[in-house]
Structure 1
Amino acid sequence: MEFVAHPNELPLKLTAIEDQHFPPCNSERTGFAGITYLTSCAFDSGACVEVTLEEIDPNFCVCGRVAWCNKEEGGYLIAIEFPTQEACYSVRMVEQLSQIEHYRRRAKNEGRRLNYNEAAAEWIQKFAAQFPAFTL
């Protein structure tokens, strides 16, 4: 399973969900499984969370499960897996948009002004081949 590090400057809203149940994940699964994110509060492994990302898509809302949570400097690094095909596909698409926005902002900090389409074209050329494929 592969997790993509979500850019910290694009804040996720994570809300614990008490009564959500997911089918067990196959530990031998390959490809994109979810995201990692540095958050200020700890979550128990196995806990279900609702994930929203208003800055990229105000309508984006998906449920995932905390695969692990590790104390790090500055907070807790958590991995969130998305066990259903629909959620995993949605998150992978939104995460690519997040990575492109992160790339655009980094270019701006380096003195390069790119619009979103220019940033997307450069990111795709440089990084899309390394982005984990969707397999479930």
Structure 2
Amino acid sequence: MNKYTKIISLAFACLFLFIGIKSTIDTKPYAELNDIQTFDGMILKLHCPHKGAAALSLENSDFTFNLSVRFRADYCQDDESQTLLGKVVSLKARQVNGDFYQAYEIKTPEQVILTPEEIEADQGSSTFGMFFLAFLILAFVGYKSRKKK
């Protein structure tokens, strides 16, 4: 491994470490959040990407509500997602960027669709992923830089 490859790899490791630390500092438990807003409305559209977290839009609202990865796994199959369209929900969310909100809780009169614990688990696993990626890069550079006998 040449010198420039090591420098670039270590720079990426530092970037992932920085993002992990920033994520750890910025993430507050749901109980400590004081800017939670409640939205009531009918689910107009589900945004279900192939990877990552899902999102939804409510009728008569310009906002997009980010959901959890588990929500995508549970509700974004063709037959499952259609059952949620048109349901009236009560949604607790926090503004994260412009018209984008992070949903923490979604309830219908019959069931709880999303809980704050699911969102905290997603945030925790992504933070862990950043630290793990930084560790892997550092271990790879260390392994490739070892002295050969």
* TM-score normalised over the length of structure 2: 0.31
- The structure in which a higher percent of residues are strand is 1
- The structure in which a higher percent of residues are helix is 2
